[in-house]
Every structure is written in structure tokens, then in C-alpha cells.
Structure 1
Amino acid sequence: MVFANYLQVVQHCDSVTYNKDQQGIPFQLEDGTVVGTLLPRVVTALITYNNTMTPSPFLISGTHVQFNTHVTNMVERTQEVATLMTQWRKDKVFPALAGWRDELYAVYGPGGVPAFVMERAATPLFGISTFGVHINVFGRDQDTIKMWVARRSLTKQTWPGLLDNCVAGGIPYTYSTKETVIKECDEEASIPASIAAHAKSTGAVSYYTMSEHGLQPETEYVYDLELPTDCQPTPKDGEVECFYFWTLDQVKDSILKGDWKPNCALVAIDFMIRHGHITPDNEPDFIDIMYHLHRKLEFPSPKKTLEIKHQP
């Protein structure tokens, strides 16, 4: 898809209406906290599954879906969702589960505490709010800022061959944001921990998108990492085909041509705003673009820094 301007780019990703009546049926915890949204086709499949189980793991009404009363804690919620998704994967009910990653995401409840965890590929089916890190890796050519841009592997299960932020990844359960930054820098771009540790938190980008797999409200913690002149990213784990070292004008042209994974284009636009390449004086849609980069998502979010430490 070719875009006429940046506003079209951000609207393409942040595409879900603010009208809750058009989003689907809320998925909630026993205290009424809404943690996700199910589209009608998912509700239909869930009813069919629920009718085969004794006792039924879910309570399904015309207004919401929640766990049944015998499912009362994190372990039990996690097990019920895992059993459901494993069965749907086996029966090939939804294409989303063909991208199974054996990677667990936390689903946050009241107080920002995980209520349960679930397989990453399954999160769009329940419209779960997910969290990741995106690192803008850049350098300088004299006084000119240039960005390292990744080309996604042609064998990636999602968005193969499109352009991407240099380093990006979801935050696995038990990992902190900074630990994820260091892990992903090593795995995707061979950037050593001694350098990755200097990545600077610059805020977050949030959006609510819909794909063929379902609903996906997402928040990306954004980091900037300036590489020294004697260091450059190198593909390592097979997820990246190659890296380009581009001027911000080249980045802009590639975004408008539709060459980027949609959410990653938002992170690159955010970088160009923060570094003065996109301003209120040269971008007529500046305010509307900002609204789409910082969507209010009415789901619980993580509140506490995790204590578990991982080796990169």
C-alpha cells in the first residue's frame, strides 16, 4: 500500500474505532476488569469448545466472556487458556495459531499484576493488550543522523521481507523492558550487551490495530541507541535479512511507499518527530499524527519492575 502522507500511515496501523460497540465482546476477569476483546467469530468458536468441556471453563453471555467460577487464580486461568489454544491449534481453527512461538505473554489484571499468561500467537484472538520494545539504532555521518533499518527475513511467519526497526521484540513473561532490549539487541543484531545497555528510554508508542488474526492493542516501549562508528548491526538469529544505514529522507520515502511493517513505521515516525525531522511547521497533520502514536488503551498495564534477572 502506497501512502500519500504520514497521517495515512499511522491511521493504517491505529485502525480500530473508539466506538466500543463496534469492537467486539469484552473478555473480563471475575471482578469485571476487562483484559481483552473477542470478535464474533472467536466467540462462536469459544461457545463450541465450551460446550464440549465439563465443567465449562468460560461463562459466555451476549455482553461479555469471563472464566467460570471454578477458575479462580493465575495458575488455573493459564491452564484453561493453554488447553483451549492447544486444542484450537490442533484443529487448525484459526490461522493465527499456525505462528505458535512457545513464547508466553503476561495478561495484566488489577494493579498491573499478571492475571494469567498465554501463548504470544494467541493474543489477537482474545484481543489482549501486549507490550514490546523497539530500539531505534542510529549513527551519524558527520552532522547527519542516519538510521539502521532492518529487512525482515523472507522466511518470517509475519510480515516477511518488510522493513523494520533495527531491533524489536515482545516482552516475554518474567523479563523487564531493559532485559528485553539487551536480549533482542544480541539475538537480532549482534549488538553486545556492553553497548546495548546504553540504550535510552524515550517513551512509548501505542495503537490499536486489527489484522486477519484479530484485535491487537499494543504498546511499544521505545529506546534510542546511538552506535559508535566502529560498530554496526549484523544479523544473527535468522529473523533479519540485512540492515541498511539510511538518511531520514530515505526512511521517509520507504515508509510512504508502504515498505514497512505497519507498527514499526510508527516507531520510526516517532523517532523523526523527536529528532526534529518532522515538526509542526513542516507537517500539517502533526497533531493528528501524535494522537495516533499515543492511543489511549483502556486495559490494565504493567506497573511493577520485575525482579528476575536474565543473562543476555
Structure 2
Amino acid sequence: MASLASPRTSSTMLSENPSPIHRWTITPVTPSSTGSLYDVIRRCNKFEERQGSGMWEFAILDNSTPVGYMLPQHVAEMKWDNTSFKVSRAKLKIHLNPVIKPGDDIVDICRREFIQLCQKNADNLNGCFQKWLKKSSDFHPIRGLDAKLAGLVIPSAARGIFGIVTTGVHMNMFTIRGGGIYVWVSRRSQNVTYARKLDQLVAGAMDPEDNMDPLVTLKREAMEEAGLLVDIHTKMVTWRGVYVGRVTSESLISFYDQKDHIAGSEEGHIEPGIRYTFDLEVSPGFIPYPEEPESIDGFVLKPVEEVKRDLKNAEWKPNCGLVMLDFLLRKGVVREDDDVNFGLLRRGLHRSLALRIE
């Protein structure tokens, strides 16, 4: 697998010409003891595309490509009047196009426009903006921007309305015992979304300050969640000054989801997502400790057969399950007799997003 920092990866266009879309449905996947590994992919790809009339483009200023695609029902419910968001029903397009004067800070102007739009629509869309507006501090970087617009961000609560690509970084920590692979797994606490679900030891969303560099995100998240210090240049990892291993860049996976009732006020929001995955092999004697007890119940070491069972039984947070399935496939521990859809598993981890992701 090529390095994620390679030019080929960073400039990939997941789909040059998005197909018209007519129908949107959420396909429920019911957990059961007879689940399959292919269900892991279905749980995180509930957004289905059908031929027909379509999604609305979301464009910003004079960027060369759209940065999102919106559901028509979200466009209809939003209040756009007296804002810098221009609505073109003929083109099925929402265009953020504020007045920019010489010397203006484009990032700051667009940020203010998004905040004002959230305020204007605080009572719309199931109140999805209300909690965010109390702090107005959590923003997500926008991908697919031309160089001159780099740094533009969107309120995290609005990204599922505008169909912005979400970006996250996950690290699989594992060890070898008796010739077999064992995986360190995190159990989410009762206080966070997807409560009590399984997760990677290190995982988190890319921040605006990360400059679209997955290693910068990994360094922050590894320290916050597990007290691990990642050297961005050497990729060496230490814990309290002791060397524990070297992290490796492995793959880029993608999915296209539509959030269900578990997401609360964000039910129905769409999420085209990409996840940068890293691996860290540690010695059998190393034991990690969680640094965020309010959001992590603990770390557990599991053999791969138990991990596979947990994936089939929907024990994993959906996008974390995708990352773990990718890990198991890369390590060659998923066999044809593990799933009748074995031949579709690798393809299912690379969903076309119809958006530029550099």
C-alpha cells in the first residue's frame, strides 16, 4: 500500500462525475449472533444512490469543484434568505459567495457566515445546531479546496447537512503471542456517542489546525487517548519515555453513510467519510492505559477470532469497525469461509464519494 502522504493518494478524485441521485434510504442492519463481516460495511454505508434527479451541489466562492452534495429536503428546510448563501433552483446549487474585499480574511468571513446560518436555523432540522451554538467552537476542515482557499472550515454540526467529507485518523495497536495476532481494543464509556461500543485505541477527527496532515492528528490523538508520544519525523512511538514501537501508514478507506436514530438530532444527516489508518505493533509485555476515563472505559487485548465475532455481532462503532475489518484483511486473517461475501469486502472499504479529497 502506498504511503498516505504520497502525491497520488493526496490528489485522488474518488469519482469525477457523480451519478444523479433520486432516492435516499436508510438500510437497517440488525445485530445478531449470525451476522456477517459484510454487515460491517453495510452499517457504515447506509446512504444509497439511485438514478434520477439529484442532490444539490454545495460550492464555496470560486473553488474549482463542489465541496459537498446536499439532500433536497435539507435545502428545502433551511432558511437561506438574507445570507451570503445563494440558492439556484435551476442549477440545484447552493453557493456560499460573500463579498470579499482586498485584505479580507476569507477564512474568518466564511466562518462567520456559517455561524450566522446556524443561528438563523437554530430551530430547524431537529434542532441539530442548538447544542453546537452554545460554544460555537467545534469546526471541521473542508476538503477539496483549491490552494488559495485552504483553511476554510465548517461547523461540525453542519457538515452532515452540506454533505462535507469527514476526515479521521485511526491507529490499530496489536501484538503477536504464540504466533497469533492479538489486538488492543478500546471500550467506549457510557458518556459518549455509540456508548459501550468497541473502538481503536487511538482514533479522532482531523482538526483545522492539523493542516490536512494525518500524522499531526495521530500525534495529538495518541497522546490524548493513550499517553503515547508519536514522533512525526521518525514515526517512533514512546510511552513515558520508553520506546514501544514504530507506527506505519497503511491505508485510506472511505464510506458514505446516512445517520440513523442513534445520532439523535443529526438523524438523516449524510456523511461521506475517509479514514487514514495506521498500525502499531508492540511487544507482548506492553500494556496501554487510557488517558480519558470519562470517555474510555478501558483497553482490552483480544485474539483476532474474538475481534471477528465482535464485528459480526455489531459490537463496534460503525466507522471503527470498517478500520478493524481493513486491518484483518491486510493481515490475512479473514478467510473465504468467514463470509459468503468475502470477494466484496475489500471493494466495500473504498466507497466512491463523488468529491475531491485532497
TM-score interval, normalised by the smaller of the two chains: 0.7 to 0.9
Partner residue in 2 for 1:203: 251
SS in 2 for 1:221: strand
5 Å-filtered alignment, 1:161-200, equals 161-175=196-210, 176-193=213-230, 195=237, 198-200=246-248
8 Å Cα contact 1:133-1:220 kept in structure 2 = yes
1:7 deviation in Å?
A: 1.4
Change (3 A) 1:290 1:94: same
Question: What is the CA–CA distance in structure 2 between the aligned matches of 1:241 and 1:199, rounded to whole Å?
Answer: 24
Superposition map of 1:29-108 within 5 A: 29-31=60-62, 33-46=65-78, 48=79, 50-51=80-81, 53=82, 56-62=83-89, 63-68=92-97, 70=99, 73-89=106-122, 91=123, 93-97=125-129, 100=132, 102-108=137-143
String of CA shifts for 1:168-222, please: whole Å, max 9, x gaps.
0011012121121121111112223352682110011100000042010000000
Displacement of 1:22 after TM fit?
7.1
CA drift at 1:77: 2.0
| Cα deviation, residue 66, structure 1 | 1.0
Structure 1 distance, partners of 2:59, 2:255, is: 21
- Tell me if the contact between 2:198 and 2:317 (Cα under 8 Å) persists in the aligned partners: yes
Is the counterpart of residue 140 in structure 1 residue 180 in structure 2?
no
RMSD across aligned positions (CA): 2.5
1:83 to partner: Cα distance: 2.1
Kindly tell me the number of residue pairs found equivalent between the two proteins. 295
22 and 293 in structure 1: CA distance in 2 versus 1, 3 angstrom threshold: farther
Deviation at 1:287, TM superposition (A): 2.9
How far residue 80 of structure 1 moved from its aligned partner, in angstroms, is: 0.5
Residue 35 of structure 1 deviates from its aligned partner by 1.0
Paired with 2:48 and 2:313, the residues of 1 have a C-alpha distance of 25
- Equivalent residue for 1:307? none
Whole-Å separation in 2 of the counterparts to 1:18 and 1:151: 33
Residue in structure 2 matched with residue 220 of structure 1 by the alignment: 275
> What is the CA–CA distance in structure 2 between the aligned matches of 1:105 and 1:179, rounded to whole Å?
15
TM-score scaled by length of structure 2: 0.75
Aligned CA distance change for structure 1 residues 79 and 277 (closer, same or farther; 3 Å): same
CA distance in 2, matches of 1:137, 1:98: 37
Corresponding letter in the other structure for 2:117: L
Q: Is the counterpart of residue 130 in structure 1 residue 162 in structure 2? A: no
Distance 1:275 1:95 in 2: 43
Please state if 1:292 is matched with 2:340.
no
Instruction: Answer yes or no: is 1:28 the counterpart of 2:76.
Output: no
| Runs (5+) with no aligned partner, structure 2 | 1-29, 231-235, 239-244, 261-265
For 1:210 and 1:287, the matched residues in 2 are separated by: 25
Distance 1:75 1:284 in 2: 51
For 1:255 and 1:135, locate their aligned partners in 2 and report how far apart those are by CA, in whole Å.
Answer: 17
Deviations 1:5-57 (A, max 9, x none): 111221221222243757632212344622112223421332x2x22x3xx31
Output the TM-score relative to the length of structure 1. 0.85
Q: Give the Å deviation of 1:284.
A: 3.7
Cα distance, 1:231 vs. partner? Answer: 2.5
Query: 1:137 Cα deviation (Å)?
Result: 0.8
Q: Output one character per residue of 1:114-148: Cα deviation in whole Å (capped at 9) or x when no partner.
A: 36202223211211101110111111222111011
Contact 2:228 2:237 in 1 (8 A): yes
1:233 is aligned to 2:269: no
Report the Cα distance in structure 2 between the residues aligned to 1:207 and 1:22, rounded to whole angstroms.
22
